[in-house]
């Protein structure tokens, strides 16, 4: 499925819908360049799960846990990961199997660790279509 948005609010809304429909154990992977809207989407997803705490992009933390929603959200941002072994140290696999909803920004950087069954989200810009234009592709694989 491909959706086009023209504002952060629209992208956030796509995230809200994904959060409302999310099921225990679901893994979302987000790929796309810096500033495409992965965190904006994540903020919507958290809202859709009923999480009221503000969601940010942690600079020096790989995982951020949000409880208090319909399901816990495990938000990974692996942009700054140096070595893939760091994921093991933070308990990546444990989180995936914990019955919550997991979401990985920059998932392409840890491709070999991703579960085969996941919801892949790709966000792309197209400057010819405007500064705020984003093409969002959502695909269930595995
Ligand atoms: P990422 O996590 O992918 O690095 P962010 O979500 O932190 O990106 O930032 C996306 C930036 O792009 C925000 O400043 C947001 O306001 C802006 N933006 C402009 N148009 C859109 C859009 N259509 N969808 C999402 N974000 C948008
Ligand atoms: Mg981000």
- Closest to 87 measured CA to CA, from 78, 96, 98, 79: 78
| Long-range CB contact pairs, 62-69, < 8 A, 24+ | 62/86, 62/87, 62/90, 63/90, 63/91, 63/92, 63/95
Specify the ligand 1 atom closest to the Cα of 77.
2
Ligand 1 site, residue 44, Cβ cutoff 6 A: no
Q: What is the CATH number of the domain that holds 92?
A: 3.40.50.300
Verify whether ligand 1 is closer than 6 Å to residue 42 (CB atom): no
* pTM of the predicted protein model: 0.97
Tell the residue nearest (CA) to atom 19 of ligand 1. Answer: 132
pLDDT at 43: 98
Range of the domain at 66: 2-141
- Distant-in-sequence, close-in-space partners of 78: CB < 8 Å, separation ≥ 6: 62, 87, 104, 105, 106, 107, 109, 110
Nearest ligand to the CA of 37 is 1
Pocket probe mutation, ligand 1, options 35, 47, 79, max atoms within 8 Å of Cβ: 35
Number of structural domains the chain divides into: 1
Within the chain, residue ranges assigned H as helices are 8-21, 38-48, 85-89, 92-96
Tell me which of 10, 29, 37 to substitute to probe ligand 1's pocket, judged by most ligand atoms within 8 Å of the beta carbon.
37
Report the pLDDT value the prediction gives residue 57, as an integer from 0 to 100. 77
User: Does ligand 1 come within 6 angstroms of the Cβ of 32?
Assistant: yes
**Rounded to 5, what percent of the chain is helix, strand, coil?**
30, 25, 40
Q: What per-residue confidence (pLDDT) applies to 130?
A: 98
Q: Tens-digit pLDDT profile for the chain (142 aa)? A: 999 999 999 999 999 999 999 999 999 999 999 999 999 999 999 999 999 999 987 667 899 999 999 999 999 999 989 899 999 999 999 999 999 999 999 999 999 999 999 999 999 999 999 999 999 999 999 9
Please give the Cα distance from 132 to 90 (Å, whole number).
34
């Amino acid at each position: 499925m491909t959706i086009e948005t023209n504002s952060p609010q629209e992208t956030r809304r796509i995230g809200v819908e994904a959060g409302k429909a999310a099921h225990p154990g679901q893994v979302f992977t987000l790929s796309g360049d810096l500033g495409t809207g992965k965190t904006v989407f994540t903020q919507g997803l958290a809202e859709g799960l009923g999480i009221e705490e503000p969601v940010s992009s942690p600079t020096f933390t790989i995982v951020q846990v949000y409880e208090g929603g319909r399901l816990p959200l495990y938000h990974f941002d692996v942009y700054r990961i140096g070595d893939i072994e760091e994921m093991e140290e933070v308990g990546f696999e444990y989180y995936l199997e914990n019955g919550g909803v997991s979401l990985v920004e920059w998932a392409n950087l840890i491709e070999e660790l991703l579960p085969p069954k996941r919801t892949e989200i790709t966000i792309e810009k197209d400057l010819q279509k405007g500064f705020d234009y984003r093409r969002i592709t959502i695909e269930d694989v595995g």
